[in-house]
Amino acid sequence: MAKKKKSSAPAENNNTALRGAFIAAIAILAAVVLGVTSSYLRSRTLEQSPPVISSINPSQITIKHPETGEEQIIPISPASAGVVESKPVTEKGKSLDFFLRNITSKESIHRLELEEAKLLFDSGKAVFIDTRSRGEYDAAHIKGAIHIQTNAGQEVIEKTARDYRNKILIPYCHGIGCRLSDRVAYRLFDAGHRKIGIFFGGWQKWDEHGYPEDKN
């Protein structure tokens, strides 16, 4: 009588189950190792990442930390930042300081165009001198201007230079082609004043643009 062979199915099933369990365990272990490694690398990256500048304006810099999200504000002062404060300039790029320099000769007296004259007027660092006739001055003149004609006494010229020694004195007359303002400017220079400008556009240009005036 022939013997029956034992079935190998249970053994094969056990082996398959073991392999599956082993593979699952390896997968879980790999996932854990990967997660731990990723977390470690991320933390190291954040630790090494420097703060970043999130915004800048003329008065402060805002810095943001990439890990915490916290922001730090650092105030800026022109002196500490090595920044030179901007000065008002004319359309031709000349600053107030340029016109307030001491001149060295009559030839170096500043010849002012309208925008330069208005800049100095607005700055409060200038005194305008109307060199036209008394009647014209009384009718209307640049706001705050004083009146000195070319035939004024020497004591008037010297007193003006003395009283306004820290101002730029700006004679003007009727407009382009009028030389009355040049003569007064030269007399001021001879009296020792060294901050002088001639507004050669004169009353005509100032009045045309509707700039501040004194009128009777």
Q: Which pLDDT belongs to residue 214?
A: 97
Domains of the chain: which residue ranges? Answer: 49-85, 96-215
Q: Which pLDDT belongs to residue 45?
A: 46
CATH fold of 96-215 reads Oxidized Rhodanese; domain 1 (3.40.250)
CB 116 within 8 A of CB 205: no
Q: How far apart are CA 111 and CA 108, in angstroms?
A: 9
- 162 Cα distance to chain centroid: 36
Q: Give the chain's end-to-end CA distance (angstroms, integer).
A: 148
Q: Which pairing describes strands 60-64 and 52-57: parallel, antiparallel, or unpaired?
A: antiparallel
Burial class (CB in 10 A: 0-12, 13-18, 19+), 152: middle
pLDDT tens per residue, the chain (216 residues)? 444 444 455 555 555 656 666 566 555 655 554 554 454 445 454 445 555 555 555 555 666 666 667 776 666 554 444 444 556 776 666 888 888 889 999 999 999 999 999 999 999 999 999 999 999 999 999 999 999 999 999 999 999 999 999 999 999 999 988 999 999 999 999 999 999 999 999 999 999 999 999 998
Q: Specify which residues 107 forms β-bridges with.
A: none
Q: Which pLDDT belongs to residue 55?
A: 58
- 113 Cα distance to chain centroid: 25
Q: Which pLDDT belongs to residue 115?
A: 94
